[in-house]
Amino acid sequence: MTRARGRLARLALLLAVAAASVAGCMPAGATTQGKDISSLYDVFLVGGIIVAAIVWVLVTWSILRYRRRDDRLPKQTEGNLKIEVLWTVIPLITVLVLFGLTAYTLGNVSAVEPGGVNVKVVAFRWQWQITYSDAGVTDTGTTDHPLQMVLPVDTPIHVTLESLDVVHAMYLPAFLFQRDATPGYPTTFDLQITQPGTYPGACAELCGIGHDQMLFSVKAVDLATYRQWLANRVAGGSAAP
């Protein structure tokens, strides 16, 4: 029995280490939408760990408790209504709760806030282009100078994303965000960045031979700096904020 306890303790330790390392790998999400997604990940992660722990403990216990000692079979039980109802209802409730939370989070992530700034992002083989629609300023990336999108923090950013040729995908790992750019079907979404900084992005859809060149970045600055920079651009100033 002591050996069995030792095994259980090692299993519990392994679970705890695995959970800690997985949690450490997850970015927190640098947008309000990303934070919502991050919270949902946490719920799924903790729920998954609890379910795995219950299953593994029960399996380990039953392997040890009922391991073969001689040729006699342990007591055989056929059908137990209470337990069957229980193991149907508990997973059903778990799945319904996760479904509800997912639907709620998706609603938040897809919600469009009033006000804010408007940009149009165009993906094409094999670069990115942004138009700051409120000012009519357009920047296009090149292989040597990947596009840097300058965007304000703490402000709803309404993005219209489209593709000129094949399916691309706008991927911003720090925002926990990815959206396909499908030719002929522009898509719109909101981003609200919470922390200033420079965030790398890339095309996440294998779109052809130059796919690896489709890098870009988002430079998030405060709203006053953004407005000043944009006004400066309208007046013919530099692209660097």
Burial of residue 184, with CB atoms counted within 10 A of its CB: 0-12 exposed, 13-18 middle, 19 or more buried: exposed
- State the minimum distance, in angstroms, from the CB of residue 105 to Cu ion: 27
CB closer to Cu ion, 78 vs 144 = 144
Query: According to the binding rule CB under 5 A, does residue 168 interact with Cu ion?
Result: yes
Residue 182: strand, helix, or coil? strand
The Cα 230–Cα 235 span in angstroms is 9
The Cα 75–Cα 39 span in angstroms is 45
- State the minimum distance, in angstroms, from the CB of residue 164 to Cu ion: 11
- State the minimum distance, in angstroms, from the CB of residue 129 to Cu ion: 13
Query: According to the binding rule CB under 5 A, does residue 117 interact with Cu ion?
Result: no
Neighbours of 79 (CB within 10 A): 6
CB closer to Cu ion, 40 vs 149 = 149
Number of residues that bind Cu ion (CB under 5 A): 4
CB closer to Cu ion, 168 vs 179 = 168
- State the minimum distance, in angstroms, from the CB of residue 109 to Cu ion: 23
How is the beta sheet containing 137-140 ordered, strand by strand?
A: 137-140, 127-132, 117-124, 157-163, 187-191
Task: Map residues 200-219 to x or -, x wherever contact with Cu ion holds by CB under 5 A.
Answer: ---x---x------x-----
Angle between helices 32-65 and 81-110 (to 10 degrees): 160
Cα–Cα distances in angstroms (integers) from residue 32 to residues 126, 149, 228, in the given order: 29, 18, 24
Query: Among residues 96, 91, 134, which one has the least CA distance to residue 115?
Result: 134
Query: According to the binding rule CB under 5 A, does residue 151 interact with Cu ion?
Result: no
Query: According to the binding rule CB under 5 A, does residue 181 interact with Cu ion?
Result: no
Query: According to the binding rule CB under 5 A, does residue 161 interact with Cu ion?
Result: no
Query: According to the binding rule CB under 5 A, does residue 147 interact with Cu ion?
Result: no
Stretch that binds Cu ion, among 81-89, 143-151, 160-168, 230-238 (CB under 5 A): 160-168
Query: Among residues 212, 148, 214, 149, which one has the least CA distance to residue 181?
Result: 214
Stretch that binds Cu ion, among 45-53, 66-74, 161-169, 215-223 (CB under 5 A): 161-169
Query: According to the binding rule CB under 5 A, does residue 170 interact with Cu ion?
Result: no
In the complex, the residues that contact Cu ion under the rule CB under 5 A are 168, 203, 207, 214
